[in-house]
Chain A
Amino acid sequence: MFSGFMANAWEVATIVAITAGVVGFFVVLRGSAFPAHAIPNGAFAGAAGANLIGINPLIGLGVMSLIAALGIGSLSRRGRPDAVTALALVMMLALGAAFLSQSTEYEPQIFSLLFGEILGVSSREILPVALLGLACVLGVAALYRKLMLTSLVSEIAAARGVRPYRMEMAFLVILACATTMTVPVVGALLIFTLMIGPPAAARCFSDRPGLALLGSVAIALVTVWAAIASAYEMNWPVGFFVGAFSAAWYGIGRGYSAWHRTHASPLAR
């Protein structure tokens, strides 16, 4: 289970989980779940387009997710953000469908773009994933205080001279970066699950931001490792296990916070 091609899967999964745990924490905090769903799905169109014109899919993914992030960010400024995100999302998916109709791509490759193929990662794919992951984590670290401030108390942030619009754009670009690296390995649909489930669960366990952020990374790691081990044993898609374990974590988190509310003594709180 830990040799040959599986070693690559473990390494990539660990990098992806750490990045998703860090970026996802802010996705949940800022209520950006919809862009986090839309950008990876739109990036899929980029990969399909790159396939069609015969360039490296990673470039297509990167360009399209950046366009998606900047487009959603700037259009949201003058319109309802959720409606804008929905329209940008379907536009990119429709572009992807149109690209696919023009190429002779066969079905398993569509499936792997959407749902990922983590067990088929080659060792030369690890370095770009690691670099982009590092860039995302560094980006979040550099903006940590400002992001936290605009996410939680936007008035105070504005009073301190932090521009909410700029922070939103910066965050969407980080999201696009995280998307580019993760879509080829875990798929457009699963990176989303990993960015929502573990951070949402972690927030139920702790009110302290730093602790919740660490918890989010830890839960994402456990989820991905357990999902790969289960997929290896049962030969079912990794994506199913990531989705099931993330939902289970969230259920446990909600259960814990409900129990904590009723059982913790008032003095302890």
Chain B
Amino acid sequence: MGFLFEPGFFSSGPVHTAAAIGTVTAIVSAVVGVFTVVRSQSFAGHALTDVATAGGSGAFFLGLSPLVGFLGGGVIGAGAMDLIGVQRVRSRDLATGVVLGAATGLAALFLYLDTTKSATTGATQQILFGSLFTIDPSTVPVVVVLSLATLVVIGVIHRPLLLTSVSAELASARGISVRTIGLLFMLALAVAVGLSSVAIGSILSTALLIGPPATALRTTRTVRHAMLGACALGIATTLLGILLAYDSFYWDSSAPIPVSFFIVALSFLSYLASGLPIVRRRVGRREAP
């Protein structure tokens, strides 16, 4: 085992925090992500991380807590996307794109003001890429509570949400307000994505939101199985990524490879593997277009 776990892995404080936050965000991302992939809203799921980042850099400039900025930015962005028309399939792409464009403009301004305001370097890289190893342990309880709240919201609306995702006509015939459910989902997505991008950076946020769910949906037959599979895969990917990043410090201590790289690479590879003909034959299921 010695060659696998470099010394101090199990006793390191940052590793504990990283593992705890990583596991929580992996679970929330998996649950929200399954719906995101089924509803074909991956673009919105990714764009909200950038929108939340704009909020985070704005909060940095105003001296507010970054968590407030990330969550506020995400929720405002989700509201704007809904206003422009993210609920209609035809204008979904455009609504997301317009909001994303405006948000990156704001991010450019705030990041510029941040770097001129304070001499601390690393703001750009920290906000954009984040790192599991530099999390402030005091944010852990807040992240856990808000994650639970997101899971509860998804749990309450999961049946109508699934129906509206599969067939909006059928759902409205049953008296479900497709618009309200769509907005609730977008807000839950914004909170989940805002949390994960402040905790683990925006790259990892999208990787965990889309990677494990897309892989699980390809290899299982029911949504419930997909959700469980996505949770397991997300947690496994995160912990393995943390281990590899920790070990990489011992390969070459002058330039350790970032933890995000390992987690993203593992999710990407598992998605590619789930598309291999041998896996597809075993599952015996063609993915719905």
Contact = CB atoms under 8 A, between A and B. Distances in A.
Contact of A197 (B101, B268, B271): B101
A102 B211 CA distance: 25
Contacts of B265: 91, 94
Q: Which residue among A115, A239, A243 has the maximum number of chain B CB atoms within 10 Å of its CB?
A: A243
A91 B264 contact: yes
Contact of B109 (A90, A110, A240, A254): A240
Interface stretch (B38-46, B134-142, B156-164): B38-46
B106 A240 contact: yes
Counting chain B residues whose Cβ lies within 8 A of the other chain, the interface size class is 35 or more
Interface in A50-67: none
Contacts of B214: 79-80, 83-84, 87
A154 B105 CA distance: 34
Given A33-B96, A196-B98, A242 B268 contact: no
A86 B46 contact: yes
B229 to A, nearest CB: 15
A240 B268 contact: no
Interface of A: 28, 31-34, 36-37, 75, 78-80, 82-91, 93-95, 97-98, 100-102, 106-108, 110-111, 114-115, 187, 189-190, 192-193, 196-197, 200, 236-237, 239-244, 246-247, 250, 254
A200 B97 contact: yes
B55 to A, nearest CB: 14
Interface in B190-225: 203-204, 206-207, 209-211, 214, 218
Nearest to B105: A243
A247 B211 contact: no
Interface in B35-58: 37, 40-43, 45-47
A91 B261 CA distance: 8
Contacts of B124: 107, 110-111, 114
24 contacts: A28-B97, A78-B275, A78-B287, A80-B287, A82-B40, A83-B214, A85-B42, A86-B43, A86-B210, A90-B46, A90-B267, A94-B261, A107-B122, A110-B124, A111-B124, A192-B101, A197-B101, A236-B112, A237-B112, A239-B104, A239-B109, A241-B105, A243-B102, A244-B106
